[in-house]
Amino acid sequence: MSFNRRDFIKTVASTSVIVPLAACAAPSGGKSGSGKARLVVVGGGFGGATAAKYLKMMDAGLDVTLVERNKQFVSCPLSNEVISGHGKYEGLLAGYDGLMKRGVNVVFDDATAVDPASKSVKLKSGTSLKYDFLVLSPGIDFNYAGIEGYSEALANTTHPHAYKAGPQTLALKKQLEGMKDGQTFVITVPPGPFRCPPGPYERASQVANYFKHHGMNKSKVIIADANDSFSKKGLFEQAWKRHYPGMIEWVAGAAGGKVVKFDAKTNTASSDFNDYKGDVVNIIPPHHAGMIAKSTGLTNDKGWCSVDMLTMESTVHKDIYVVGDSTVHGELPVYGAPKSAHMANTQAKVAVGAIIAKINGVPAPEPFFVNTCYSIAETDWGFSVVHIYRAKEGKLVYDTKAGGISPVNMADESALKMQRKLESEYCIGWFKNIMADAFA
């Protein structure tokens, strides 16, 4: 840092007292964190990359280090469309040059341990990073033991879950492309919460879409679900009826959909009541918070990190902020606080605001959380769910007057078609902007 920020502040401070205080709204203003606060962000996905970028954008003087194990990020959003052939794999990729240009120190390494007492993060390479504030956004990891007979080794070879985008996305795509008319594609859904509540059902739609457009009208998708309902259910069921009649079968948990066992040799997933034999079986294993959050002791008995709803600071260790899929955000119902890229984005910005306020010794600003999850069920057939949250009396409240799902029915057929077409296009526009918001 060639420029001494503290001297600058002294100079400006002594010359700017004539500016009336009212000109800047309290708690506005903030001294620069230059040479003071060391920020470490672990995980360069939707939450972590956004946090690193906004820390730098809101105070260029902060010392920000991002630790990410992969040189290239692969987006889960729109990966279902890659599986069906509607999107290109290259379109899911992002690098870290944008963040480096903004002055973020990007370290490609694995964070192996966090010591909240000495405030340091240990890396696989052996180095250790000291922090004043730590942001963790490690996404999810899987509890393979939750499905007897399934394993990480199977996921990486013959039975990709493709629930972390990457090589497994392409492997699943290849399996779909190898199917013949009349064959069955089974998707098993773990108990909630899991990342992207509409994700498995969007995937089922995209698989059916592939069947439909490749003359495989006798093929079927079976969704064996551990849960008794799902996100945007009315919208998905309408889409399935219109576009893929008879092709997609959903089995609720109460009807024996909860898969607990898998036999890779016979390609059979089983619940306590039913067997689901498929030609392709896509097991989505149960998840928990990213391993590093777990090993740091930040998780509750269900495997997720509980945070102060208004700042995203861990309720276990102070000065550690957890954002993204790893968190349970307040006491909202499972579908009231979805694990989505948009949530990770909005939570990251709130955490950044709270951290900068803390550095400056002022109260955390009012947090604003917004979520929108778009899904595409067929070409020109998209829909969404919106959540708007407000802080009320120290708690996060889901505003029931706002948000909600896209209209299922509209008085006019041409209006309904337009609504679905618009949201299928807005989905792509959202994706481009949210990727840029994190990585550019």
Ligand X SMILES: Cc1cc2nc3c(=O)[nH]c(=O)nc-3n(C[C@H](O)[C@H](O)[C@H](O)COP(=O)(O)OP(=O)(O)OC[C@H]3O[C@@H](n4cnc5c(N)ncnc54)[C@H](O)[C@@H]3O)c2cc1C
- Residue 19-58 contact track with another protein, rule CB under 8 A, x = bound: x-x--xx-xxxxxx---------------------x--xx
Q: Which residue is nearest to ligand X (CB)?
A: 45
Ramachandran angles phi, psi of 44, nearest 5°: -105, 50
How big is the site for ligand X, counted in residues (CB under 6 A)?
36
Tell me if 2 contacts another protein by CB under 8 A.
no
Instruction: Give the residue, chosen from 270, 372, 375, 406, that forms a contact with ligand HEC under the rule CB under 6 A.
Output: 372
Examine residue 257 and tell whether it contacts ligand X (CB under 6 A). no
Site for ligand X, residues 129 to 168, rule: CB under 6 A: 137-139, 163
Q: Is residue 357 part of the contact set for another protein (CB under 8 A)?
A: yes
- Is 424 a binding residue for ligand HEC by CB under 6 A? The answer is no
Residue 421 touches ligand HEC, criterion: CB under 6 A = no
Site stretch for ligand X (CB under 6 A), options 1-9, 11-19, 97-105, 333-341: 333-341
The yes or no reply on residue 426 touching ligand HEC (CB under 6 A) is yes
Q: Where are the alpha helices (DSSP H) in 331-370?
A: 341-359
Q: How far apart are CA 95 and CA 294, in angstroms?
A: 27
- 391 is in the binding site of which of another protein, ligand X, ligand HEC, none (Cβ under 5 to 8 A by kind)? none
3 state SS of 227: coil
Q: What phi and psi, each to the nearest 5 degrees, are found at residue 339? A: -85, 90
> How big is the CA angle at 71 (ends 69 and 72), to the nearest 5 degrees?
115
Q: Token match 């360069």: residue?
A: 44
Q: Which of 126, 215, 333, 361 binds another protein (CB under 8 A)?
A: 361
Strand order in the sheet with 275-277: 261-263, 268-270, 275-277
Q: How far is the CB of 22 from ligand X (least distance, A)?
A: 39
Q: What sign results for the dihedral spanned by CA atoms 125, 131, 137, 140? A: positive
Give the nearer residue to ligand HEC in terms of CB position, either 298 or 434.
434
Is residue 11 exposed (0-12), middle (13-18) or buried (19+ Cβ within 10 Å)? exposed
Cα distances (Å, whole numbers) of residue 298 to 40, 83, 304, 308? 17, 34, 8, 12
Contact assessment for residue 251 and residue 221, using Cβ atoms and an 8 Å cutoff? no
Q: Which of residues 296-325 bind ligand X (CB under 6 A)?
A: 324-325
With CB under 6 A as the contact rule, the residue among 357, 370, 397, 440 that binds ligand HEC is 370
Provide the minimum distance between the beta carbon of 430 and ligand HEC in the complex, in angstroms, as a whole number: 5
Rounded Cα distance, 171 and 189, in Å: 19
Which of ligand HEC, another protein, ligand X, none does residue 373 bind to, with CB < 5 to 8 Å depending on kind?
ligand X
Q: CA distances (Å), 416 to each of 206, 379, 382, 385, 412, in order?
A: 20, 14, 11, 16, 6
Q: Which residues bind ligand HEC (CB under 6 A)?
A: 370, 372, 422, 426, 430
Contacting positions for ligand X (CB under 6 A): 42-48, 67-70, 73, 76-77, 79-80, 110-111, 137-139, 163, 195-196, 199, 290, 292, 324-325, 339-342, 344, 373-374
